[in-house]
Amino acid sequence: MPDSSPILRADRLVKRFDSFTALDGLSFEVAPGESLGLLGVNGAGKTTAMNLLLGLTTPTSGTVEVFGMEFWEHRTEILRRINFSSAYTNLPSNLLVWQNLLVFARLYRVPQPKQRIDELLELLDITHLRKSVTGRLSAGESTRVNLAKALLNQPRLLLLDEPTASLDPDIADRVRKLLRKLQAETGISILYTSHWLG
C-alpha cells in the first residue's frame, strides 16, 4: 500500500519582522502527487512562506516537516530532494544558459548533467536559448530557464513562487500543461503561489 503521509507539513507558521507580522499561524499539508496553491494578493506573505520552506529565513514559531523529517534538523538531506523556481529570483546574469544549468546540475550532483540539460531545454522549448547570455533573456525566457533549473534533480517536491507571473498567456498555459503532464508521469508534489484568483 502506497505511503499517504504528507510530503510537506507546515504547522502554525508565524514570521514577524520587528513589529510587522508577515505570517500568522499558517498551516497546511501537501500529499504525495498533489498540487497545492497558496493564493493571495501581493504582500499577503506567500513569498515569506516559500522562504521559510526553503530555509532562507527562520520562522518566529511553528514547524515544518518534509518527507516526515523536521526541516531544520535534516535541512541538507531535504534540500537535495526538492527544488524551486521563482519569478523573482535571477540566475547569474553573465553566464550562458547552459553554463548556469551545468553549475546547478553539479551542485545537485545530477548524473549525466549535459544529457539532463538537453532533455529539459527540449521539454521547455528553449533549446534555442542554450548559448544565450542569461542576463539578456526576456522575462518569459528567464522564467522557463529557472523552471529548467528547478527540474534538474528530478525533485520529489517542487516549490514554485508565481511560476507564470512573467509569461504571456499562451506560454503560461503551456507551462501549466507541462507541469500537469510532469506530475501525472512522475508523481511529483507541487506547492505554488499565485496572486491570480480568477
**Per-residue tens of pLDDT for the chain, all 198 residues:** 456 789 999 999 999 999 999 999 999 999 999 999 998 887 788 989 999 999 999 999 999 999 999 999 999 999 999 999 987 788 999 999 999 999 999 999 999 999 999 999 998 889 999 999 999 998 888 888 999 999 999 999 999 998 877 778 888 888 888 888 889 988 999 999 987 654
Give me 160's grid cell.
514554485
CATH superfamily to which 8-194 belongs: P-loop containing nucleotide triphosphate hydrolases (3.40.50.300)
Domain boundaries, the chain: 8-194
Buried b (16+ CB within 10 A) or exposed e, 115-136: ebbeebbebbebeebeeeebee
Residue 106 CB: number of other CB atoms within 10 A? Answer: 11
> CA 119, CA 86: separation in Å to the nearest integer?
21
> CA 39, CA 45: separation in Å to the nearest integer?
10
| Structural contact between residues 165 and 175, judged by C-beta atoms closer than 8 angstroms | no
> CA 160, CA 167: separation in Å to the nearest integer?
14
What letter represents residue 5's amino acid? S
pTM for this predicted structure: 0.89
